[in-house]
Amino acid sequence: MSNVKQFTDKLQKLNFQDMYEGDFFLTWEKSREELEAVFTVADALRHLRENNISAKIFDSGLGISLFRDNSTRTRFSFASACNLLGLEVQDLDEGKSQIAHGETVRETANMISFMADVIGIRDDMYIGKGNTYMHHVVDAVTAGHKDGVLEQKPTLVNLQCDIDHPTQAMADALHLINLYGGVENLKGKKIAMTWAYSPSYGKPLSVPQGIIGLMTRLGMDVTLAYPEGYEVMEDVVEVARKNAAEQGGKFEITHSMAEAFKDADVVYPKSWAPFKAMEERTELYGKGDMEGIKALEKRLLAQNAQHKDWECTEEMMALTKEGKAMYLHCLPADITDVSCEAGEVAASVFDRYRDPLYKEASYKPYIIAAMIFLAKVKDPVAKLLELEAKGTKRHDG
């Protein structure tokens, strides 16, 4: 049986010390070596669990989750990550808390953090709001710790904001890293991040933005494809361009799904709302203009309906490298004739990739756990070796 040393040997070559007592907001705010440390610790934690060795580093404590948008997969991934490390999870329901009655961010952040070691937040629906809110929370608990109110500063993990979805993008990347046998083997591989038709409106921009922001960082040749009018944040496009230039890769934008799929090693067809429309939506909600929201929704659904041909079909997949590209999706996908009449992906394509998609999703709890681990453990190499040497069985079955 291989041991955890295969991972600690990698870690010892990386510079990631600044992650200790830190937070995780956006992937492009972390160094390349810090990202690799997350991947490596995630694999190490998975290795321990698969070998029935407890990875608990906490005897007690809380992980606080705050989801300001509906979530199933990320909610359970966060709970799984906290449980893996020994934390209990308490979900903060804003509708049942004093936040709904005007309690300030500073008060709320401190009150929930007396015994909290990590706070996970998903706030992705309002442009210019989600990431800003997360920073306000961190500022509040940092001040609380400094002022002696909190015994420790909880680590914040971005579970999806208006700019990035780091836990999803990192899980997707780790899936590819293991598929291709190492992060170095991603260099030069082509990934097509393309818009796809959905019969719903208002899907967040953070998944496509997270993918172009991270995969360019890992040396992949990234093509972003969408119908005209479905642009993403220009700031993130600039990040992708800069990353590609630094890594010697490519970053291209096209308005042709077929062009994006041509010779691609990996495809990621996923619907999202136009950036300008999401800006407008945020403004309308800020004014409480529900009639304006209804009108915007009607307009966007009509706009989407003009692009039903943006579907991941067998014909599209045939354009990829040897017709065998890896298909990625953050799930749930809009599957034509299964979950909807017309959607992002043909049922035959989705069915063929069902098991790899589940494998892709399985990396997210370990990515989240690794982010927490690196923020809370001063010497991750020693701690991983200690956990293995101790050999506490996770169960006796």
- Map out the domains of the chain with their CATH numbers: 5-164+364-390 (3.40.50.1370), 167-361 (3.40.50.1370)
Q: Quote the tokens at residue 357.
A: 């998609």
* pLDDT for 53: 97
Half-sphere exposure of 352 (CA within 13 A, CB side): 14
* pLDDT for 202: 82
Half-sphere exposure of 312 (CA within 13 A, CB side): 36
* pLDDT for 101: 60
Asked whether residue 1 carries a pLDDT value surpassing 60, the answer given is: no
What CA–CA distances, in Å, run from 60 to 115, 181, 259?
9, 36, 52
* pLDDT for 75: 94
Asked whether residue 100 carries a pLDDT value surpassing 60, the answer given is: no
Asked whether residue 137 carries a pLDDT value surpassing 90, the answer given is: yes
* pLDDT for 201: 85
Indicate if the alpha-carbon torsion angle 172, 55, 90, 106 is positive or negative.
negative
Q: Are 67 and 159 in contact (CB under 8 A)?
A: yes
Q: Which residue has the tokens 């920073």?
A: 135
Amino acid at 75: R
Asked whether residue 34 carries a pLDDT value surpassing 80, the answer given is: yes
In this structure, are strands 251-254 and 190-194 parallel, antiparallel, or unpaired?
Answer: unpaired
What is the rounded CA–CA span in Å between residue 243 and residue 265?
A: 19
Q: Quote the tokens at residue 41.
A: 């610790």
Calculate the average pLDDT of the chain. 95
Phi, psi of 374 (to 5 degrees): -70, -25
* pLDDT for 165: 98
SS3 233: coil
Asked whether residue 211 carries a pLDDT value surpassing 80, the answer given is: yes
* pLDDT for 115: 95
SS3 4: coil
Asked whether residue 139 carries a pLDDT value surpassing 70, the answer given is: yes
The predicted model gives 37-54 an average pLDDT of 97
The predicted model gives 282-286 an average pLDDT of 92
Average the pLDDT over each of 120-129, 154-163, 235-244, 306-315 and give the range with the smallest value. 120-129
Asked whether residue 8 carries a pLDDT value surpassing 60, the answer given is: yes
What CA–CA distances, in Å, run from 157 to 66, 118, 138, 146, 226?
11, 7, 10, 20, 29
Q: Are 361 and 71 in contact (CB under 8 A)?
A: no
Indicate if the alpha-carbon torsion angle 184, 255, 326, 305 is positive or negative.
positive
Q: Are 327 and 265 in contact (CB under 8 A)?
A: no
Q: Which residue has the tokens 């599957």?
A: 335
User: What share of the chain in percent tops pLDDT 70?
Assistant: 97
The predicted model gives 46-59 an average pLDDT of 97
Whole-model pTM above 0.85?
A: yes
What is the rounded CA–CA span in Å between residue 22 and residue 33?
A: 15
User: Please, which pLDDT band fits residue 68 given cuts at 50, 70 and 90?
Assistant: confident
What CA–CA distances, in Å, run from 396 to 51, 85, 87, 104, 392?
12, 18, 21, 46, 10
Q: How many CB atoms lie within 10 A of CB 48?
A: 21
What is the rounded CA–CA span in Å between residue 287 and residue 307?
A: 31
Listed in order, strand segments (DSSP E) in 215-273 are 221-225, 251-254, 266-269
Q: How many CB atoms lie within 10 A of CB 390?
A: 10
Q: Which residue has the tokens 């360019």?
A: 216
The predicted model gives 297-312 an average pLDDT of 96
What is the rounded CA–CA span in Å between residue 258 and residue 280?
A: 30
The crossing angle, in degrees rounded to 10, of helices 380-390 and 364-376 is 110
User: Please, which pLDDT band fits residue 393 given cuts at 50, 70 and 90?
Assistant: very high
Peptide bond into 274 cis (omega under 30): no
The predicted model gives 286-307 an average pLDDT of 95
Asked whether residue 145 carries a pLDDT value surpassing 70, the answer given is: yes
Q: What residues are paired with 238 via a beta bridge?
A: none
Amino acid at 131: N
Q: Are 92 and 86 in contact (CB under 8 A)?
A: no
The predicted model gives 125-140 an average pLDDT of 94
* pLDDT for 148: 97
The predicted model gives 219-234 an average pLDDT of 98
The crossing angle, in degrees rounded to 10, of helices 206-215 and 234-247 is 20
Asked whether residue 132 carries a pLDDT value surpassing 70, the answer given is: yes
Q: Which residue from 186, 265, 241 is spatially nearest to 219, judged by alpha carbons?
A: 186
Q: Are 106 and 143 in contact (CB under 8 A)?
A: yes
